[in-house]
Amino acid sequence: MDKLLIIKNNKKVSRTAIPHLDFATLRQQLLACAAAGGQIVQFFAYEEQGVCKLLAVMRTDKLYIGGCDAPDIFASLTAESEKFHMFEREIGEQYGLKAEGHPWYKMVRYHANYSGKKDVFANNYNQDIPGNYPYFSVDGETVHEVAVGPVHAGIIEPGHFRFQCCGERVFHLEIQLGYQHRGAEKLLQSVPRKRLPIIAETIAGDTTIGHGLCQAQALEALAGLVVDEGAKIVRTIALELERIANHIGDLGALSIDVAFSPPAAYFGRIRGEYLNLTQILAGSRFGRGLVRAGGVTLVMGEEQKKLLSDKLAELTPEVEHVSELIFASPSVTGRFDNTGMVSRENAEKIGMVGYAGRASGLSYDARVSFPTECYGELPANSNDRTDGDVRSRATVRREEIMHSTRLIQSLLARKEEAKDYTPQDLQLAPLSLVVSINEAWRGEVSHCILTDGKGEILRYKVKDPSFHNWTGLALSLRDEGISDFPLCNKSFNLSYCGFDL
């Protein structure tokens, strides 16, 4: 890792300072970092003056960066470390750069590449999805296949799931997404700057604050804007409210997936109460329009603070009681225990993040490792149960709800008030790069922006935690009953559109 540059979260770096290695050296450096426990934050291709290049950002307790000119065909890193598997497929799909030796090389989202090179998957994009794409299959007399989606039985995003089963038992689950691909990255690189926050907030609508915050911080770093303490408090509270609302909704949904309906009804409503708290702050239940480069659009006055703290005081005991109802019920825990297991070893191999990673024993929390906003001054959470099953993922989320509540309460006690917001034109530093990382409710969200010599956005890369974790869901189904799929799925509750971009 000695040839990589150490950078900081949300700190602008001159692109000339980033080590530009040859491919073989970069490969060796990244594999060494991965072997030493490093995980990938970003690994993507971009094009500059007709030349395709690779850029990688890895994390241990620090962030490392390095790049190279991209060969059209390169020796796959996945062949030596699974951590790179989805990233290499994405690089192939986005820029037509082929990872030779990748063990399961196939499309990620199904779209024509940006560089105009020959398509590495031999797809004809005039045809509808799924194109030229062989599913992994298992042969045998008693083996059968179950195909589900893209349209699912419920109000849920589309995706295709292919199970290889023997009776009820699942050998293998393959998840093919891409149905939600809206071309978000391409838009972020090409539209007028005024549209950027609107797109960021809808990369994954349930992570409006998480993605909005990453973008705002990245732009602030490039434009040299300073955010006042009051705005930081509002942003931190909004991110934690987002976490609580989603965790509560999912705990309710987990409960109904094991046919215990009262908590689902209660938590369904209570989730709405937390969304309404975000509406008090932002004027929108999802926090749309709140976070902007430079601060927040609405200040949190005494009135809003009182509404928030009164409502939190009312809701917290209710949340505790309903949680207790779920976790004290033997019919629930009987289904949660030892179901949908992802071992720590596997979680590490595929770079699982967020509560799913923590439930498998990977303690990484970006709020602790790379703190932004107010997180540097706030206490970290710890997790009791990290066995990698549905019970662990549910328990981690229960713990996080209470932890986040305490964080919000301590922030509400602070006096600083945000300054009034004035929209401003941003002048981004030329030939620069910034990597932005935040712990959104699902886990590590990261945005990376590269500017060209004129300060225009050359490449805008987005990574949702779901990009890591969908593979975790597939692994959790190994050797599991197929009827436990809804339960396993909800225990992860991953984003389709965040993955599909």
Residue list 221-260, contact with another protein (CB under 8 A): 249
Residue list 120-149, contact with another protein (CB under 8 A): 128-129
By beta-carbon proximity to another protein, the closer residue of 31 and 315 is: 315
User: 271 and 249 in contact (C-beta within 8 Å)?
Assistant: yes
In this chain, which stretch among 15-23, 155-163, 236-244, 376-384 interacts with another protein, using CB under 8 A? 155-163
- Work out whether the CA dihedral 41, 45, 47, 48 comes out positive or negative: positive
DSSP character for 70? Answer: P
Residue list 405-434, contact with another protein (CB under 8 A): 421, 423
In this chain, which stretch among 17-25, 30-38, 323-331, 390-398 interacts with another protein, using CB under 8 A? 323-331
Residue list 191-220, contact with another protein (CB under 8 A): 191, 194-195, 197-199, 201-206, 208
Candidate residues 60, 189, 279, 316; the one interacting with another protein per rule CB under 8 A:
279
Candidate residues 37, 103, 167, 183; the one interacting with another protein per rule CB under 8 A:
183
Candidate residues 318, 348, 416, 452; the one interacting with another protein per rule CB under 8 A:
318
One-letter amino acid at 323 equals S
Q: How far apart are CA 44 and CA 20, in angstroms?
A: 14
Both tokens of 109, joined, read 């989202």
- Residue 48 CB, nearest approach to another protein (Å): 22
Listed residue (3, 7, 4) closest to 370, CA to CA: 7
Residue list 352-381, contact with another protein (CB under 8 A): none
Candidate residues 241, 282, 319, 418; the one interacting with another protein per rule CB under 8 A:
282
Residue list 52-111, contact with another protein (CB under 8 A): 109-111
In this chain, which stretch among 11-19, 156-164, 341-349, 369-377 interacts with another protein, using CB under 8 A? 156-164
Candidate residues 89, 102, 232, 271; the one interacting with another protein per rule CB under 8 A:
271
In this chain, which stretch among 38-46, 217-225, 322-330, 469-477 interacts with another protein, using CB under 8 A? 322-330
By beta-carbon proximity to another protein, the closer residue of 245 and 362 is: 245
- Residue 114 CB, nearest approach to another protein (Å): 11
Q: What is the CA radius of gyration of the chain?
A: 22
Q: Is 112 exposed, middle or buried (0-12, 13-18, 19+ CB in 10 A)?
A: middle
One-letter amino acid at 136 equals F
- Asked if 404 interacts with another protein (CB under 8 A), we say no
Q: What is the 3-state secondary structure (H, E, C) of 82-123?
A: HHHHHHHHHHHHHHCCEEECCCCCCCCCCCCCCCCCCCCCCC
Write down the residue that tokens 């009791």 correspond to: 384
- Asked if 306 interacts with another protein (CB under 8 A), we say no
Candidate residues 71, 101, 158, 486; the one interacting with another protein per rule CB under 8 A:
158
3-state secondary structure of 16: helix
- Asked if 297 interacts with another protein (CB under 8 A), we say yes
| # residues near another protein by CB under 8 A | 71
By beta-carbon proximity to another protein, the closer residue of 88 and 157 is: 157
By beta-carbon proximity to another protein, the closer residue of 36 and 156 is: 156
DSSP character for 147? Answer: E
- Would you call the peptide bond into 130 cis, given omega within 30 degrees of 0 as the criterion? yes
In this chain, which stretch among 9-17, 284-292, 380-388, 479-487 interacts with another protein, using CB under 8 A? 284-292
By beta-carbon proximity to another protein, the closer residue of 2 and 303 is: 303
Q: Mask: binding to another protein, 438-477, rule CB under 8 A, as x and -?
A: ----------------------------------------
Write down the residue that tokens 């990872």 correspond to: 99
Q: How far apart are CA 145 and CA 166, in angstroms?
A: 9
What count of other Cβ atoms lies within 10 Å of the Cβ of residue 131?
17
Q: Mask: binding to another protein, 163-182, rule CB under 8 A, as x and -?
A: ---------------xxxxx
By beta-carbon proximity to another protein, the closer residue of 53 and 235 is: 235
Q: How far apart are CA 41 and CA 435, in angstroms?
A: 9
Measured CA to CA in angstroms, residue 121 lies from 53, 107, 134, 287 at distances of 20, 7, 11, 39
Q: How far apart are CA 344 and CA 217, in angstroms?
A: 32
Listed residue (477, 442, 478, 485) closest to 257, CA to CA: 485
- Work out whether the CA dihedral 399, 402, 408, 411 comes out positive or negative: negative
Candidate residues 3, 11, 144, 321; the one interacting with another protein per rule CB under 8 A:
321
- Residue 244 CB, nearest approach to another protein (Å): 14
